C-alpha cells in the first residue's frame, strides 16, 4: 500500500468511526417566526448530535446542532406559535426589558444594559443610519472581553448567549444578523426571535422618525454553534413534533418558562 492509499484509508476509518468529532451544520429557511421554531426543533431532534454539557448554567445531556436560520418574513403575525412555552405578552416584556431598555431588577446585566452602557449603541446606530443608509459598519455588540472569565468579583459569571446583532439596510429594509453562542431551541428561541423582530421594528421606527425615512424591517438571520434541546425537554419536543393524537394539542409545560436565566433570555 502506497503513502496516498494509507492516508485515504486513515481518513475513511475516521469518517466511519461514529465518533469523528465532526460538527454538523444545518441551515433552515423559514417564512415566519413560528415556522422557524418548528423547523429548528425538527432539525435538532432528527439530526442533532448528543452533547454532554460539561460546564454552564445547566450541566446535562442535550441534542444540538450548529444551526443557521433565515426568516424571510419575520414581521408576519402571529410572532409566536400558540404551542410555544411563551406568549406575545411575555415577548413584548422581553423585548422592552431585556433588549431595548435593559432595565430589570435582580439581574446583573441584560442584553439591553450592555447595548446602552457604557455606550448607547442603539442611539448611535440610529444616528449613523440617518446620516448614511449604506453604512456597513453598524454592529451592536453585547459580549465583552471580561465575559471569558468564569467568575467576576468572586462570583460565578454566565456570559451572554446573544453575542452580537449585526445590521444592514438593503433595498429599504433593515436586516438583522444575530449570533448566539448557545441557544435553548425549545424555550428560548421562540421568545428570542419574536423579541428581536419587535426590537427591529422599534429600531426602524426611530430611524424613520429622526431621518424622515420610510424603512421597513427585513430578514432575520441567526447563527448558533450550539442550538440545543435539553434532556428535560425531550418528551415535550417529541410530543410537539409527533403528537399521538393529531386532533389534540400537544401538552406544553408552561412551568418551563422562568426555570433558568437561559429560558428567559438564553443566557
**Domains of the chain: which residue ranges?**
24-265
pLDDT the model gives residue 102:
80
- State the Cα–Cα distance between residues 48 and 228, nearest whole angstrom: 8
Mean pLDDT of the chain: 88
Give the pLDDT confidence score for residue 69 in this predicted structure: 98
> pTM value?
0.85
Look at the domain 24-265 and name its fold.
Thymidylate Synthase; Chain A (3.30.572)
Instruction: State the pLDDT at residue 6.
Output: 54
Residues of the chain with pLDDT under 70: 1-21, 104-105, 245-267
- Please spell the DSSP secondary structure of the chain, one letter per residue: --HHHHHHHHHHHHHTSS---PPPEEEEEESSHHHHHHHHHHHHHHHPEEEE--SSSS-SEEEEEEEEEEES-TTSSPSS-TTSSS-HHHHHHHIIIIIII---TT-S--HHHHHHSSS-HHHHHHHHHHH-TT----EEE---GGGGSSEETTEE----SEEEEEEEEETTEEEEEEEESSEETTTTHHHHHHHHHHHHHHHHHHHHHHHT---EEEEEEEEEEEEEEEGGGHHHHHHHHS-SSTTSPPP--GGGTTSSHHHHH--
Predicted local distance difference test score (pLDDT) of residue 21: 64
Amino acid at each position: 500500500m502506497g503513502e496516498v492509499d494509507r492516508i485515504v484509508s486513515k481518513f475513511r476509518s475516521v469518517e466511519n468511526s461514529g465518533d469523528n468529532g465532526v460538527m454538523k451544520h444545518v441551515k433552515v429557511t423559514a417564512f415566519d417566526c413560528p415556522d422557524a421554531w418548528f423547523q429548528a426543533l425538527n432539525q435538532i431532534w432528527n439530526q442533532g448530535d448528543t452533547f454532554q454539557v460539561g460546564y454552564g448554567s445547566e450541566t446535562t445531556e442535550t441534542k444540538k446542532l450548529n444551526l443557521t436560520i433565515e426568516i424571510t418574513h419575520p414581521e408576519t403575525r402571529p410572532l409566536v406559535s400558540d404551542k410555544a412555552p411563551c406568549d406575545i405578552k411575555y415577548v413584548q416584556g422581553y423585548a422592552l426589558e431585556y433588549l431595548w431598555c435593559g432595565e430589570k431588577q435582580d439581574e446583573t446585566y441584560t442584553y439591553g444594559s450592555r447595548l446602552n452602557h457604557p455606550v448607547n449603541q442603539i442611539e448611535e446606530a440610529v444616528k449613523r443610519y440617518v446620516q448614511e443608509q449604506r453604512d456597513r459598519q453598524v454592529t451592536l455588540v453585547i459580549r465583552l472581553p471580561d465575559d471569558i472569565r468564569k467568575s467576576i468579583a468572586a462570583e460565578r459569571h454566565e456570559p451572554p448567549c446573544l453575542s452580537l446583532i449585526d445590521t444592514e439596510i438593503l433595498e429599504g429594509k433593515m436586516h438583522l444578523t444575530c449570533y448566539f453562542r448557545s441557544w435553548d431551541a425549545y424555550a428560548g428561541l421562540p421568545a428570542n426571535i419574536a423579541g428581536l423582530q419587535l426590537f427591529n421594528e422599534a429600531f426602524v421606527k426611530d430611524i424613520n422618525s429622526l431621518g424622515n425615512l420610510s424603512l421597513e424591517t427585513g430578514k432575520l438571520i441567526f447563527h448558533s454553534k450550539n442550538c440545543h434541546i435539553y434532556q428535560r425537554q425531550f418528551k415535550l419536543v417529541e410530543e410537539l413534533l409527533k403528537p399521538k393524537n393529531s386532533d389534540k394539542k400537544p401538552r406544553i409545560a408552561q412551568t418551563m418558562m422562568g426555570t433558568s436565566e437561559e429560558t428567559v433570555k438564553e443566557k
